[in-house]
């Protein structure tokens, strides 16, 4: 545990940021699960809507450096390929 006041504040800030980043990641994972479920059930319209939200959430996570830029690009490509195969 930090002893100095600045270290204590830094620890508190890190915990807050960690929880915020974790919320964004779990929300992204839930959206991806919804998208994969709609692909499995071959529901094209629902998959298109979920793809839009996935793009939005991936871009936001990438912008905030939660996931790397190339990872975001790769995932977006993968999800669009899945939808193209379905349609």
Is the distance from CB of 51 to CB of 38 less than 8 angstroms? no
SS3 of 43, please?
Answer: coil
pLDDT band (50, 70, 90) for residue 87: confident
Mean pLDDT of 48-56: 97
Looking at domain 5-86, its CATH class is mainly alpha
Q: What pLDDT is attached to residue 45?
A: 95
Cα–Cα distance measured from residue 52 to residue 86, given in angstroms and rounded to the nearest whole number: 16
pLDDT of residue 16: 97
Separation in Å, CA 73 to CA 10, 16, 58, 68, 76 = 32, 27, 9, 9, 5
Q: What is the pLDDT of residues 4-44, one digit of tens each?
A: 999 999 999 999 999 999 999 999 999 999 999 999 999 99
């Amino acid at each position: 545990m930090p002893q100095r006041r600045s270290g204590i504040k830094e620890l508190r800030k890190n915990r807050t940021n960690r929880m915020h980043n974790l919320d964004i990641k779990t929300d992204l994972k839930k959206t991806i699960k919804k998208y994969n479920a709609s692909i499995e059930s071959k529901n094209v319209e629902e998959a298109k809507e979920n793809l839009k939200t996935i793009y939005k959430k991936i871009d936001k996570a990438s912008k905030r450096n939660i996931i790397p830029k190339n990872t975001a690009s790769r995932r977006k490509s993968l999800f669009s390929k899945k939808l193209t195969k379905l349609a």
